[in-house]
Amino acid sequence: MSTMKGDAHKGAAEPLDDLELLIRSRYGLIVVETIEEDRAEGLLGHLADRLSLPLFSWTRTKGLRRVDSEASVYGTTDPATALDHLEQSSFPAVYHLRGFGEHLADPVLAGKLTDVAAAFEDRSGAVILTGVDVALPAALAQRTAVFRLPPPRLEDYRDLLQHIVRDISARSPVDIELAPRDLAQLLNNLKGLTLLEAEKVLTRAIVEDGKLSPDDVRDVIEAKRAIVEREGVLEYYPVEATLADVADFATLKAWLARRRAVIAAPEKAAEYGLEFPKGLLLVGVPGCGKSLCAKAVAMEWALPLLKLDPSSLYNKYIGQSEQNFLRATKTAERMAPVVLWIDELEKAFATGGEDGGVSARILGTFLSWLQDRKGDVFVVATANDVTRLPPEFLRKGRFDEIFFVDLPDAEARRALLWIHLRKRNQDPAAFDLDALARATDGFSGAEVEQVIVSGLYTAFAAQGPLTDELLLDEISRTRPLSVTMAERIAALRQWAKGRTISAH
């Protein structure tokens, strides 16, 4: 089986060039991997024109028909009859079999299609199957070329938008209130949607109020959220934090800043031989900002954030857990470029579990996906108990880097106090931040935040202002993790030496 992967960054003509090359190389059967069968048929129409051949389309409901005609070949709604017609006909053409992959579980139909593929190796034209995860029997796979249709490019979305505006403007006025920057943001947010989905979203946005404005970007985001939630495994996470809201982590911030240019200009980066970054692993003390960093990465790089909850993977039915994970990764690839956040990684891939080998199988699937993923997916994984992680995760090359997140120092605690006071409508200048930072020695970032929250509850109950005295009282009554988990934190720090880079 030959496999050719289309590149989303190539010119528009290149998928056509690749398909034409496969047909001229005498592949009688080609599988085009895509969820956009309408878009694929449009591409095949251009391909047929290039080859000066007619294009026929087959569906289970309409049978086999020429695309420029409504008449169908009699009796070809039956898959076996359709294949018999293809094998016996000497008419050179491109034949598009839509949704035929589901019939290949039938060994008789699979055998008939193998015969058809062999016949077309000596004819002009080819048989094209489209779909997702088309399972090919071994004998058929040997005669098949597999081509992955690249996702729509920005130019495709721009052309679609212009077409929609022209179409609607012919019936009623349309006000375009998008500056160049707004237009770029709108088009970037369309990434991950099929052209059909994008058409529906854009048409609705314009028809609702007769204009296209920056507010319509939210409609696109909601459309993406609906797609993700429909799959039921990933969460489209609303991001409000930026790296400005993350105290400390100078080393991590600098690492991200050096890679921001690659995210913003992947084509130029490719000319330098640079690939899309794989991801990073954040390990360390609970409550010290690992999850906040994951959210902030997406905002800093202006990428969508998808969250994978490990507990959502597991299912009591054999094989379903692995399928859940595959569904999650395929959704992430479709939304690419994207940040995929896997929180508390050890919950999904812990060693020593008694789950019948499910964790081990998912681990193998995940490691293979990390190596061979098709889309630009940046993985941000967090872990609290690194001792439960399989050693395979910590091997160089799985992630671009492993960062250790420790308890904040005095300067970071002062910054945390300032951030959380400001977020709760308090004036940081009214507090002795240096004294409060010294008093919270050994506190995690989450504990510092909780001190302010608890102090505000006390102040509200007394109908008075929040003061240094109230905060110091809350601090004195808090037993931080550095006390309650002293041995575990010491062991974690010892493990991190020589294995990780400090995020601070």
The reported pLDDT for the residue numbered 351 is 56
Alpha-carbon span 266 to 479, nearest angstrom: 47
Q: How confident is the model at residue 4 (pLDDT cuts 50, 70, 90)?
A: very low
**Residues of the chain above pLDDT 70, percent:** 93
Tens of pLDDT along 34-84? 989 999 999 999 999 999 999 999 999 999 999 988 889 999 999 999 999
pTM here?
0.74
Rounded Cα distance between 285 and 101, Å, is 49
The backbone torsions φ and ψ at residue 416, rounded to the nearest 5 degrees and listed phi first, read -65, -45
Six-digit token string for 190: 């369309």
Cα–Cα dist 3/451, whole Å: 58
pLDDT of residue 293: 84
Least confident segment among 5-14, 191-200, 326-335, 455-464: 5-14
Task: Give residue 315's pLDDT.
Answer: 62
Rounded CA separation 5/19 (Å): 11
Mean pLDDT of 372-394: 83
pLDDT digits (tens, 9 = 90+) for 444-495: 999 999 999 999 999 999 999 999 999 999 999 999 989 998 998 998 899 8
Q: In Å, how far from its chain's centre is CA 443?
A: 35
Question: Which has more pLDDT, 441 or 193?
Answer: 441
Residue 2 DSSP SS3 = strand
Q: Which of 98, 166, 180 has its CA nearest to residue 132?
A: 98
Phi, psi of 395 (to 5 degrees): -70, 140
Q: What is the pLDDT of residues 157-175, one digit of tens each?
A: 999 999 999 999 999 999 9
User: Residue 191: CB partners within 8 Å, gap ≥ 6?
Assistant: 151, 152, 154, 157, 335, 336, 337
Q: Are 394 and 426 in contact (CB under 8 A)?
A: no
Q: How far is CA 184 from CA 150, 188, 217, 306, 467, in A?
A: 20, 6, 10, 22, 46
